[in-house]
């Protein structure tokens, strides 16, 4: 039997210690995105043609929105004025996951690892989020990141003779792989 429960995870992004976005992925289904951005009556009246024209625009708009939210989270991570708020949250919540902001019915949480990697997760505001499950989810994403980046057997077939061409892009290329994307999708699908 299929579950009608809507997954609260809307996006996941990983940002390097130099504030370079490594991975930003939206996890809104097309039907969720269309329902949020259009009136359901318009979709029913206009039929299939409206659905086809709305889907690509909605997907692009959501990607841009979540990209913007990730950059907003970076501003909060690096802002000296938010340091006191972050310290207060860390005292109340010892697992390191911080509530960064709420915007457009999306609650944005962040986690900064010891090596400076920032993991930003956007959740649906209408969902009830268990902080322990959120921490477990974020640490699972971090472990997946470490497994993929530190894998000594990963494929290094990209032009081995010209090392300067890929210098600095190697980590980003690995995170944009199908294997990493599927791993994150599996973690998102398993989020309770």
Instruction: Convert the pLDDT of each residue in 115-158 to its tens digit.
Output: 889 999 999 999 888 888 999 999 999 999 999 888 887 765 55
Q: Kindly report the CATH number assigned to the domain that includes residue 121.
A: 3.30.450.70
Q: What is the pLDDT of residue 54?
A: 52
94 in any annotated domain: yes
- In total, how many domains does the chain have? 1
Q: What is the DSSP letter of 116?
A: S
Q: What is the DSSP letter of 154?
A: S
Handedness of CA 152, 154, 159, 162 (dihedral sign): negative
Is residue 178's pLDDT more than 70? yes
Q: Which residue has the tokens 């690509």?
A: 56
Q: Residue 119: name the closest of 132, 104, 106, 135 by CA.
A: 135
Q: What is the pLDDT of residue 170?
A: 59
Residue 72 in tokens:
């907003």
Instruction: For residue 170, give its domain range.
Output: 9-189
Mean pLDDT value across residues 92-100: 78
Mean pLDDT value across residues 17-22: 90
């Amino acid at each position: 039997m299929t579950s009608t429960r809507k997954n609260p995870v809307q996006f996941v992004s990983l940002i390097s210690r130099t504030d370079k976005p490594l991975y930003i992925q939206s996890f809104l289904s097309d039907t969720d995105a269309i329902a949020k951005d259009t009136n359901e009556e318009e979709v029913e009246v206009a039929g299939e043609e409206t659905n086809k024209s709305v889907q690509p625009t909605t997907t692009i708009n959501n990607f841009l929105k979540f990209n913007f939210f990730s950059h907003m989270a970076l501003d909060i991570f690096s802002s000296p004025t938010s340091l006191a708020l972050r310290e207060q949250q860390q005292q109340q919540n010892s697992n390191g996951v911080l509530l960064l902001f709420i915007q457009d019915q999306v609650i944005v949480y962040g986690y900064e690892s010891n090596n400076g990697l920032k993991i930003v997760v956007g959740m649906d505001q209408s969902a009830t989020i268990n902080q322990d499950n959120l921490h477990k989810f974020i640490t699972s994403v971090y472990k997946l990141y470490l497994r993929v980046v530190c894998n000594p057997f990963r494929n290094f077939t990209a032009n081995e003779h010209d090392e300067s061409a890929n210098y600095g892009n190697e980590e980003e290329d690995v995170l944009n792989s199908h294997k990493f994307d599927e791993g994150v999708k599996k973690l998102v699908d398993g989020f309770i």
